[in-house]
Structure 1
Amino acid sequence: MAIYLARLMTLLTLVLSIGNAYAVDKNIEANVGGTRIAIPEPKNYSDPSPMIPSVRKFGENMTASTNRLLGFFMSDDDVKALLAQTAPQLHRYFMVQTLRATEDTLMTAQEFSVVRDQLKNQYKKLFDDHAALMQSEINRAVDRITKDGKTNQATDLNLKLGEMKVLEVLSDDRYVSLVAKTLVQATVNGEIKQIPMALGMTSTMVKGKVIYFFSYARFNSDEDIHWIKAQVTAWIPLLFAANKSE
């Protein structure tokens, strides 16, 4: 009986530890050019790569060759789907990356200020030049998806970034972020579809290292845009709090 109880307690501890790994917000650590950076997991999201290496590969395939992936965060529901060996929805997800070219250098606050201002000006120009470029195409795509009424479960998603409609530029002295709509092309169960997406592209610097925070949501309504903006304003303070100098 004692052996049975010991095994039962061990099993319960293992199950609870797996559950807690995805229920409690925590940080993952990344080495960027010899500097340890704490990457906070967004609330109710986690990076299951240690348990499911294919997730890491998927994220790397979606990362530009100029960048290096530091974290790929999926919703708790998507993680549970993967653990149950079913297809995740990936309606909303995050990627954290760094710029390969600057990994081995330490950027000063003044240097980042210049970069931030340049990016902010470029983003504002995109907003002015292309403010209405994609709206009609996005509306048509949303209409097709609404009429289709099918759930976009996919075992294979090959995303291709299309043109963007810039909606807003967010910034303070720590970061600059572009909020936009775009169309992506995805292979869903062998069928090529166009899917409207909302995204946030955030550039920041912590411990002298450039960090990119990308947030994505399948676009159905303005609520998805509000969600993107909320993720940026929530995650940046977490990043700086996690990397305070001791």
Structure 2
Amino acid sequence: MSIIAVVGDCTTTTALALAAGWPSGHDAVILEADRTGGSLAAWLGTPASPSLSTIVANSPALGNSPSTAWSAVDAMVRHAPSGTRFIAAPVRSRAASRALSEAGGTLFPLLAQLYEPTIIADIGSYAVADAPSVLFSLASSIVVCHRQDAASAGAATVRLERLAELVQFLATFGVPLTVALIGDRPFGPDEVGQFLTADGQAEIVMHSLPVDDLTAAVFAGRTGVSERRLARLPLIREASALARQVAPAETDRAPDSSRIDQLGSSR
């Protein structure tokens, strides 16, 4: 199973946008892997359980075979009205942290041995001083999301220094690294890319994502936006391009428009 680790700013919105624009013919499941607690079940209008804690509690039924483990997990994967498939983290941080720690030792290594489906792991914000996530070492690709502070070039520069530190750390895992730059001010993607690779320690691909508050609001539960309008919104278009970039090479490169249609119709 390919694992795409999504880390940094606005990761839940980005993970949902990736899932909506995932290439057709292949399955993607969002794994909410944020140690501070989950919000995805509430965003998608579903009950809080079953969650990752439920799956971990049923670990004896998973067995030692990757295919057997996925069969057991798949029965507990949530289906949102939009069609999005996901595994929710517990809402409270202690429960979420405990479930992720336990899954990191048993469940995640098993699932990483499978090809289908692709797991889009929403890790959330992360600092280099935090305990390393096992999902980084299992990932086939890492997407670092960075939303610029457009109000102040000085503040944006400070945040870029921290982004550079994170990128250098993530580069040590030796997998393809994409920086999704959210917003085009005060710096363009070429400027940011040159800054992040100035020391030659990291090889990254830059990808621009727009600040799109309407799409983010729809993902967070806003109603009244038609599927036609949603499909035309800038975040959906750019996230589809990002999905084609980070998806496993064997996947069909056309975005699955039915996921976008379902998301719009569910709102």
> With structure 1 as the length reference, what TM-score do the two structures score?
0.27
Bigger strand share? 1
Bigger helix share? 2
Larger RCO: 1 or 2 (CA < 8 Å, sep 6+): 2
- Larger Cα Rg: Structure 1 or Structure 2? 1
